[in-house]
């Protein structure tokens, strides 16, 4: 099979899985609301099973929470309203995508910071090597020996 | 020596940060409730045992109480029930039941069989009150102060150990002295 076909098959499988995983057939007439409902229920953790989203979980609490999400969306609440509602009751842990806060700031900031440090070190090393090659009369040539 | 100093210092810093994080991470499986230290959510639920009255959180203001979340479908609840009966008998603190997503007749049968340790039982058919309390499994037991503040939350069955170690020390001497 060609590689393109494989990728397309994979993408199809992934995009399809969203719908396929949703455990109940929801009945939100408005497709925009329905899309937000799917998005939100997939990023809220089922507290009972912990490694599933409430969209994927068959347990009773997950279906109750799906109902709350649906009701809040139908009542015109924003996505953040829904997230805040859930966090106020179950804590930050219910979000699969933790929000930026003072407590986890270092987690968010560490990777770019380390990247910058790495870049800095790399630049310094390259510069030093360059300077070395220019000033050192014994610089080895391509043959390796001076 | 010098060229190792910085990486070593960074590594040491990493070790310290991770050690602190591990030390402070709660037990796997129990989730610290954001409700602790906050006002207990209000509720007004139909009473399981008294069709005339509602179980209202307003009526509970002014004294300590336990809110115990249970259901007849919950295996662990059966395991803790004897302990609840014991606490109820001791008279240390009233226990309010939250019968979570349960059938009324099943619940009444359960109480007839195993005893009723509850001062009142609110029936939460649709699970909305449980969500307000951040309940994610049964049994769960909340300790609420006279000011209506959630002081402690136990996830899992109440045992003699958890009662002695977590609940009694949080109660004022005068209240706890009865046990």
CA-CA-CA-CA dihedral for B68, B74, B78, B81, to nearest 10: 0
Residue B176 has pLDDT above 50, yes or no: no
The SS3 assignment for B165 reads helix
Give residue A49's pLDDT band: very low, low, confident or very high (50, 70, 90): confident
Q: Average pLDDT in the B155-174 region?
A: 91
The answer to ipTM > 0.95 is no
Q: Give the per-residue pLDDT at B23.
A: 82
Per-residue pLDDT tens digits for A2-11: 455 555 555 5
CATH number of the A3-94 domain: 1.10.8.640
Pairing outcome for strands B150-155 and B140-144: antiparallel
Q: Which of chain A's residues have a Cβ under 8 Å away from the Cβ of B128?
A: 64, 68
**pLDDT tens figures, B107-160:** 999 999 999 999 999 999 999 999 999 999 889 999 999 999 999 999 999 999
- pLDDT of the residue at A146: 47
**B22 occurs within a structural domain:** no
pLDDT in tens, A93-129: 899 988 888 878 888 899 999 999 999 999 999 998 8
pLDDT category at A13 given cuts 50, 70, 90 is low
- Exposure of B145 by Cβ count < 10 A (0-12 exposed, 13-18 middle, 19+ buried)? middle
Q: What is the pLDDT of residue A103?
A: 77
**A89:B134 CB<8 A:** yes
Least confident piece of the model among A4-18, A24-38, A79-93: A4-18
Is the Cβ–Cβ distance between A38 and A23 less than 8 Å?
A: no
Which runs of E-coded beta strand occur in B71-179? 95-100, 120-124, 140-144, 150-155
Which residue bears the tokens 């219910």? A94
Q: Is the pLDDT of residue B175 over 90?
A: no
- Domain extent listing, chain A: 3-94, 103-146
Bridge partners, A16 (sequence order): none
Q: Is B17 a domain residue?
A: no
When the pLDDT of each residue in chain A is averaged and rounded to a whole number, the result is 80
Burial class of residue B151 in the structure, from the number of CB atoms within 10 Å of its CB (0-12 exposed, 13-18 middle, 19+ buried):
middle
Q: How far apart are CA B142 and CA B155, in angstroms?
A: 9
Summarised one tens digit per residue, pLDDT across range B93-119 is 999 999 999 999 999 999 999 999 999
Any domain includes B12: no
* pLDDT at B69 exceeding the cut of 90: yes
Note whether residue B14 is domain-resident. Answer: no
Contact B31 A60 (CB under 8 A): no
Residue B18 resides in a domain: no
With beta carbons under 8 A apart, name residues in chain A contacting B32. 91
Q: Give the span between the Cα atoms of A47 and A61, in whole angstroms.
A: 8
Q: What are phi and psi of B51, to 5 degrees?
A: -65, -20
Indicate left, alpha or beta for B58 from its phi (over 0: left) and psi (-120 to 50: alpha).
Answer: alpha
Whether the predicted pLDDT of B42 surpasses 80: yes
Number of domains in chain B: 1
- C-alpha to C-alpha distance for A35 and A20, rounded to whole angstroms: 14
Range of the domain at B108: 37-176
* B32 to chain A: closest CA residue: A91
Helix residue ranges, H only, A22-138: 31-42, 60-74, 79-90, 105-135
Average pLDDT over residues A28-54: 89
Tokens in use for B39?
């006002």
Q: What does the pLDDT read at residue A44? A: 94
Can you give the pTM of this predicted structure?
Answer: 0.76
* Contact residues, chain B to chain A, C-beta under 8 Å: 17, 29, 31-35, 101, 126-128, 130-137
The β-bridge partners of B149 are B39
> Is residue B148, in this structure, part of any structural domain at all?
yes
**A108 — contact with chain B (CB < 8 Å)?**
no
Total residue count of chain B as it appears in this document: 179
Cβ pairs A/B, distance under 8 A: 43
pLDDT of B64 over the 90 cut: yes
pLDDT, residue B118, reads 97
Nearest-neighbour CA in chain A from B101: distance (Å):
9
For the segment B41-60, the average pLDDT, to the nearest whole number, is 93
What's B115's domain CATH number? 3.40.30.10
CB of B151 closer than 8 Å to CB of B139 = no
Please indicate, yes or no, if residue B126 is contained in any of the structural domains.
yes
């Amino acid at each position: 099979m060609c590689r393109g076909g494989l990728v397309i098959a994979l993408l199809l499988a992934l995009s399809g899985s969203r719908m396929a995983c949703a455990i109940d057939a929801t009945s939100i007439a408005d497709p925009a609301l329905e899309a937000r409902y799917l998005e939100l229920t997939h990023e809220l953790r089922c507290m009972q099973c912990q490694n599933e989203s409430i969209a994927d979980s068959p347990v009773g609490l997950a279906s109750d929470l799906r109902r709350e999400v649906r009701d809040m969306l139908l009542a015109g609440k924003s996505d953040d309203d829904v997230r805040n509602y859930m966090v106020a009751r179950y804590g930050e842990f219910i979000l699969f995508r933790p929000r930026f806060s003072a407590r986890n700031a270092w987690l968010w900031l560490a990777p770019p910071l380390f990247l910058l440090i790495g870049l800095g070190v790399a630049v310094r090393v390259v510069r030093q090597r360059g300077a070395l090659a220019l000033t050192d009369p014994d610089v080895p040539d391509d043959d390796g020996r001076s | 020596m010098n060229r190792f100093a910085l990486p070593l210092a960074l590594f040491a810093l990493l070790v310290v940060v991770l050690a602190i994080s591990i030390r402070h991470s709660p037990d796997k499986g129990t989730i610290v409730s954001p409700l602790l230290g906050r006002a207990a959510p209000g509720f007004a639920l139909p009473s399981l045992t008294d069709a005339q009255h509602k179980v209202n959180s307003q009526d509970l203001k002014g004294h300590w109480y336990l809110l115990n979340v249970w259901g007849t479908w919950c295996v662990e609840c059966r395991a803790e029930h004897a302990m609840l009966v014991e606490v109820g008998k001791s008279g240390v603190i009233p226990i309010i039941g939250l019968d979570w997503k349960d059938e009324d007749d099943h619940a009444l049968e359960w109480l007839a069989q195993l005893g009723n340790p509850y001062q009142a039982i609110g029936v939460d058919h649709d699970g909305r009150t449980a969500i307000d309390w951040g309940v994610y499994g049964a049994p769960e037991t909340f300790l609420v102060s006279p000011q209506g503040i959630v002081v402690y939350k136990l996830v899992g069955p109440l045992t003699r150990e958890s009662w002695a170690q977590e609940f009694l020390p949080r109660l004022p001497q005068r209240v706890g002295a009865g046990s």
